Each structure stands twice: as structure tokens, then as C-alpha cells.
Amino acid sequence: MRLIRPDDPGTSTGTGGGFAPEKRVPFSTRQRRVPETRPMSNSITVLKFGSSILPVEAALPHAVHEIYRYVRQGHSVVAVVSAFAGETDRLLVHARRYGDSADASATAALTSLGEGQSVALLGLALDQAGIPMNILDSAGMGLRTLGPATDARPSGLDVENIKRALAQKPVLVVPGFIGRDDLGRITLLGRGGSDLTALFIAGQIGAQQCVLIKDVDGLYDKDPAEHTDAKRFERVTYEDVLGLPEGIVQHKAVRYARDIGLKFGVGGMGQRVATWVWDGKSAFGREPARVKPIKVALAGAGIVGRGVYDRIAALPQFFEIVKVCVRDVKKHAKSGIPEKLLTSDIDSLLSGPADVIVETLGGLHPAKELIGGALQRGKHVVTANKAVLAAEFDLFTGIRRQSGARLLYSSSVGGGVPIIEAVRAAARRGRIASVRGVVNGTTNFVLGLLAQGIDFAEAIRRAQVAGFAEPDPSADIDGSDAAAKACILAREAFGHPIFPNQVKRMGIGHLTPNHAAQAQAQGGAIRLVAHITCPRGMTHATVAPLILPSDDPLAQVHDEQNCCVITLEDGSRTVVTGRGAGRWPTAESITADLFELCRGEGAADEEEYIGEIAA
């Protein structure tokens, strides 16, 4: 790799400071050892989403939230998806227009289009949220079936292809009740087939868990809608489920799980898994599974803040928005936010009824005062503000130690890419040697345009139009945004504080299309790289544009994507990639933090975690 300094040939005068480069050796002459690469976790979770969870296209973000919940915990996810509500019946009726005895294979082929649509649209929704995914149809996953074309049963699966897809990207989306017979013709697994498909996949690939996401909060001994004394099972045996009226879970799916000894969960979206079905003993839950809505106040309704508002406003069963603080109340009232929620008085968020404040203002002030004041009053805070965290983390830690409030900041690095979670998971496996990352989506987007021959000013303008760059993009261009993120990652990786003025930093303001062309001629690409190490207990961090070889994971991310490579002292490494800038990826990460608060998860103090890593 090679540092691109402002005095390199063909440069224009730029901003961002600089530091002495390493010995300049062309990367192509270096012997490169490729270490073992592992995902954040070897755990695979199979999630099934039926039409009760996805009745219409507008409900797709609900599935995205649930999938991202497991992805940021380090799981690979297989999402098994049904058609939208009523779509399968509509297609079956359409097939019957050609006669009651219409060809079964043709009927199955037509009916499969419903799930093909929902699978594709969920893939697009995941991509919008910055979550990398693959899609496989029934042929791609090799789901083979036996029996009638419209009521078949699964008999085989291409396990290796599914695992290859999950090794490439953390999420795989597949249809729920579509298979292929021995001739490769499309078949349907009948009513309840999606439950059966999810359990069959989980059993075949050895998934660590399988959860059927329903519109209920678990399994009950009787219908809770008709019986006020109905009791929810926390754990229930296969036989007890088979003794209940068929409906929530199809009996053929339960019988399959029983026959292979597969434990599976049943629960509602956004909740803890409410009921586990297994071969042990049945037991009733002591507490209701459903969570109570939490009151949320939003500070800011710009690109990210408005995305958060739209996401959580669609989830009133979990979140109640009590206030939205903006500069221009009339402007945002016209945009669709109820005027009764709007205020320009930021202090009113502190005195109001909110349980949690979401801060998306950016910058040091008034974010510092708002976050500190909220924590002091015992209000939880969720923020994407890397600048204020890098500068004032110790201050906030001291306040929340006294108040017991929590500070969640997963979105501050990587947008929707769970970089912070990946660093924490790696640190629990062993000592981290280094963290390297492309952690600024705006600069990566700009560098991609430079590689296309577009000049710097126009590249910045396009980044602003796309919603990646702020009206004042200087923090991105001069590397200070990436430096702030490096400070946060240093704490997570090594437990030691480092501050922005201690990060050796060089920006990209001096780069031109000529630099990008030179890098391409050498078979590489320019990336703004944050690099954090901790030799002999002393944390070091740099941010600089480097020419990277094409086989470097950081060179393989494009547009607004982020990537982080975490290398342990044993040489193994974790790589996480996804969209790191824009409204929806960052809003998704903030929403995930809110769900964590809602479920009461992850309550261990982050200060204790960082202290444990430092020790």
C-alpha cells in the first residue's frame, strides 16, 4: 500500500493536514499473507416471516428490523418469506380460471410468483437499509420435494450452496413454500409450508436457532382473544403443541421438528422470543412477553433524524414519539410531522416525559449539553454523533455512572454496518492486533467518482445531492470525521482513550482523477483508511488516503459502503461490510438501539466492557 501525499505528482493544493509516510514500497512487490477470515460469529439463525407479519409491502421494514437485530449480534440469517397477505389465494383463483382441473405444475408455477415478489422486495428493503444480502430461489437453494405439485413435502437441500451464500453476505432471503421436484418443476409445500420450510432449512444446515415470527407474542394454552385466563407457554413440548388447535403453527411443521429433535421459537416482531418448542417439559411464562412502548424525543429531523421518525412512527406498539426538536417548525409541519410534536426549544426535551432522547444534530454544541443533561436526568440517549463521543466520552461515562442511564451509539461508526458490535465480538475472542477500516461513506463515494474521471468539486456536489455529504463537507474531506470514528473504535478495541487531536490525519482534498487513474494502473484503488493499533499498551491511530491492492477487502467496497477489518493477534480476522452513509442505514442502526432499550437487552454498562478489554 502507498500513502497519497499532497506533494504527489498531479495534485492540487488541498486540506486535511499530513504526517510523515512510511517507506514508500510499491504494494505489488510485497509478500502478502492472507489470514483466516471469519464472520462475526459462526451462528446461523433462521427467521420465518409469514403474511401476518408482512401483509403488505409497506410492512417490509418490520422484517428488516428483525433481521438486523440478529445481524448486529453477529449471526448469519436465513430469512424465509411468505407472499403478502391474500396474494397466494389471488393467484390460485387466477389459475382456476383455466379450469378446476388446471395442470398442477402450471398452477404451482403461477402461485410461486407471489413469494418471488415478496422475496425480491425484502431484498431491496434490506439493501436500502445497508444490510448486505443474497437471494436464492427454490432452485438456487436446491429445495427438492416429493409428492403432489401443490402439496409436496421437502426431501433435500443444497446445504453447501446456502452456506456459500451466507459466507459471502450475512443475510440470505429465500421463498417459504416453493420447492422443485425431481424434474426441476416448481412445487408448493401447501398450507403451513413456510413454517415447514424454515424448520427444514434449519435442520439441514445445522442452524443454531430457528424462530417463527408471528403476529402473536407466543403460544398459549387457549386463545387469549377469547379467554382472559389464557396462559403463555415459555417452553412447550411438541406433543402439547400438537394437542392445541392448529393455526399459529402448522402441525406438519411441528411433527417434522419433533421427528428430528429440532428446538424452535415462536414470537412476535421486535420482542424477545416468547415461546420455545422442544422435547423437554412444558412451562408457563412468569411475565408477559410483550414490551411496553417507550417514549422517544427526537433532536433533529434532517436526513437521518427524519428517517428515524418515519421508522419508529410506523411502530406505535413499541415507540411513542413525544417531541421532535427542529430549527424551523413550520417547514417540518408541512413535511408531515404533526405540529403538536414539533418544538424549537431543545431544553423542552430534557424537561419532557421522554424515556429516551435520540440525538441526530451532529457537532459538539448543543449536542454535548443535550446528551449530558439527558443522562443526568436519567434519560437514555441514542446518538450517531461521532464528534461529540470522541471528545466527551469520559464526561458522559461519569454522568451515566451516577444516573444509571444508558448511552447507545452503534450508528456513530459505519451507519448500518455493525462495526462496533464486530469489534466487541472480536475482542471477546482474543486480543486485537489492529482495526483497519473505510469508515466514511462520503469520501468513499467521492473517491469512486474520481476514479470515473469526475473532478473533485463535481464529486462533492453529487455526494451532497445523494444525501451522503453535508452542505459543509469539510469534516469528511479533511478526515476529521474518520478520525473521530477511529477514537471510538480505539476504545472499543483496546479500552484506552484516544482523542481526535492525537490521530495522525490526512484528508482527500488534494486528490484528483489523475491519482485514481494511477492507482488503477497499478491494479489498486485509493481508499481513506483509518488504522488503529495498540503496541505495548499505547494506542495509535491514523487516517490517510492509501493505494490498496485489489485483493484488500477495503479496496473492494464502493460508493457509500463502509468496511472494517479486525485482526487478532493470532492472525485471524473479521470483515464486516455494508452501506455506511445515508438516511436509511443510519436510521436502521438507531432504530436497533431503540429496540434494544425497548427489550431491556444489553444493559451491562459499556464502561465495564471497555475496562475489561483494557485489562
CB of 80 within 8 A of CB of 213? no
Q: Which one of the listed residues 48, 323, 386, 485 is annotated catalytic?
A: 485
Cβ neighbour number for residue 600 with a 10 Å cutoff: 9
Spacing of C-alpha 112 from chain mean position = 28
Q: Is the CA virtual torsion 387, 540, 498, 417 positive or negative?
A: positive
| CA distance readout (Å), 614 to 35, 160, 428, 565, 608 | 25, 40, 12, 20, 10
DSSP letter assigned to residue 536: G
Contacts (Cβ under 8 Å, ≥6 apart) of 239 = 258
Q: Is 485 a known active-site residue?
A: yes
DSSP string, 243-264: TSPSSSS-HHHHHHHHHHT--E
AA identity, residue 125: A
> Helix, strand, coil % (nearest 5) of the chain?
40, 20, 40
The grid coordinates listed for 539 are 494506542
Helix axes 303-313, 583-599, angle to 10 degrees: 50
Q: Within 13 A of 259's CA, how many CA atoms are on the CB side?
A: 9
Largest CA distance in the chain: 79
Q: Write down the residue that cell numbers 455506511 correspond to.
A: 580
Q: What is the DSSP string of 293-325?
A: PEEEEEE--SHHHHHHHHHHHT-TTTEEEEEEE
Between 480-494 and 419-429, two packed helices, what is the crossing angle to 10 degrees? 30
* SS3 sequence of 111-131: HHHHHHHHHHHHHHHHHHCCC
- Give the C-alpha separation, 256 to 194, whole Å: 13
For residue 475, what is its C-alpha cell?
A: 469534516
Nearest to 129 by CA among 600, 560, 573, 605: 560
Separation between Cα atoms, residue 506 and residue 21, nearest integer Å: 10
Q: How far is CA 257 from CA 62, 76, 78, 261, 284, in A?
A: 26, 21, 17, 6, 21
Residues annotated as catalytic are 485
